[in-house]
Amino acid sequence: MANRSGTKQIADNRKARHEYIVLDSFEAGIELFGTEVKSVRKGAVNLRDSWCEVSSSNEMFAKGIHISPYEQGNIFNREPTRDRKLLMHKREIIRLRNEVMQQGLTLIPLSLYFKDSLVKVQLGLCRGKKLYDKRASAATRDAKRDMERYQKSHR
């Protein structure tokens, strides 16, 4: 398999950035089968309602990632929303599990991308936003957009 350098964005979880405050982010590999990789290359991935969970045996799984079945695949296609194992060092997984359990945080897949020829997941250690946090972030986004429009029109 040829290694191509660089990264290529596959999918982004924009809803997560609206619903959660991202405190820290991590990179993890994801265990996929052949037809799933082909679907990922086509961009048939949805991260919208996905989350991560650490099992009691210190393994991390991504739940709710929807990878559409490959059209040319036959018996080798897998269930679109099956749990997929995430690949990280054991001490990182233990650290994340402790933070999630003690501080009440959530692990959310933020994006899926190719790094060289490998599929990687960017995980976010997140805290849920309250309604007033969502309103404040929308207000700052609108104010920033208005300032950019004003600057563009008065040049």
Contact yes or no for 78/35 (Cβ under 8 A):
yes
Q: Quick check: is 146 in a domain?
A: no
Q: Which amino acid is at 37?
A: V
**Is 2 inside a domain boundary?**
no
Task: Identify whether 150 is part of a domain.
Answer: no
115-119: long-range contacts, CB 8 A cutoff, minimum separation 24 = 115/7, 115/27, 116/3, 116/4, 116/5, 116/6, 117/1, 117/2, 117/3, 117/4, 118/29, 119/10, 119/29, 119/30, 119/32, 119/37, 119/40
Q: Given a cut of 70, is residue 144 above it in pLDDT?
A: yes
Question: What pLDDT, on the 0 to 100 scale, is given for residue 5?
Answer: 64
Write out the E strands in 88-138. Answer: 106-115, 118-128
Query: Could you list the residue range(s) of the whole structural domain that residue 96 is in?
Result: 8-129
Q: What is the pLDDT of residues 110-120, one digit of tens each?
A: 999 999 889 99
pTM of the model as a whole: 0.78
Q: Is residue 3 domain-resident?
A: no
Strand partners, 53: 61
In a domain, 73, yes or no: yes
Q: What band does 75 get if pLDDT is binned at 50, 70 and 90? A: confident
Closest CA to 86 of 104, 103, 109: 109
pLDDT at 1: 46
Q: Kindly provide the b/e burial profile for residues 111-141, where b requires at least 16 CB atoms within 10 angstroms of the residue's own CB.
A: bbbbeeeebbbbbbbbeebeeeeeeeeeeee
Structural domains in the chain (count): 1
pLDDT tens-place string over residues 14-35: 888 888 889 999 999 999 888 8
Assign residue 88 the CATH number of its domain.
Answer: 2.40.280.10
Specify if 52 maps to a domain.
yes
Residue 141 lies in a domain: no
Q: What is the DSSP letter of 58?
A: S
Does a structural domain hold residue 148? no
